[in-house]
Amino acid sequence: MKIMIRKDAKGSLSAYVPKKDLEEPIVSMEQAGMWGGIVTLANGWRLELPEMAAETTLPITVDARRLGEAA
């Protein structure tokens, strides 16, 4: 699914899913660099992000894979 990842003025990351008109904060990251790992959104969704360079600028639209909700 296509998602947009952006950073707000306070430096917090969020993910926007256009098809669902859903924007949720990213509450945890499997890897410090985020890219190529799994992130968890505030609503419990877990998304696998593609490998990208650590210095990738935000906002950016990427293809992510939804893994399901955290237990």
CATH code for the domain of 27: 2.40.50.240
Number of other CB atoms surrounding residue 57 within 10 Å: 7
Whether the full predicted model's pTM is greater than 0.85, yes or no, is yes
Q: Report how many helices (DSSP H) and strands (DSSP E) the chain contains, helices first.
A: 0, 7
Number of domain units in the chain:
1
- pLDDT above 60 (res 70): no
Residue 71 has what pLDDT?
52
Per cent of the chain over pLDDT 90 is 80
Q: Which among 57, 64, 40 has a CA at the least distance from the CA of 6?
A: 57
Domain holding 24, by residue range, is: 2-69
Place 68 in a pLDDT band, splitting at 50, 70 and 90: low
- Quick: pLDDT tens for 31-58: 888 999 999 999 999 999 999 998 999 9
Q: Which among 71, 35, 41 has a CA at the least distance from the CA of 56?
A: 35
Residue 48 has what pLDDT?
96
Residue in the block written with tokens 């952006």: 6
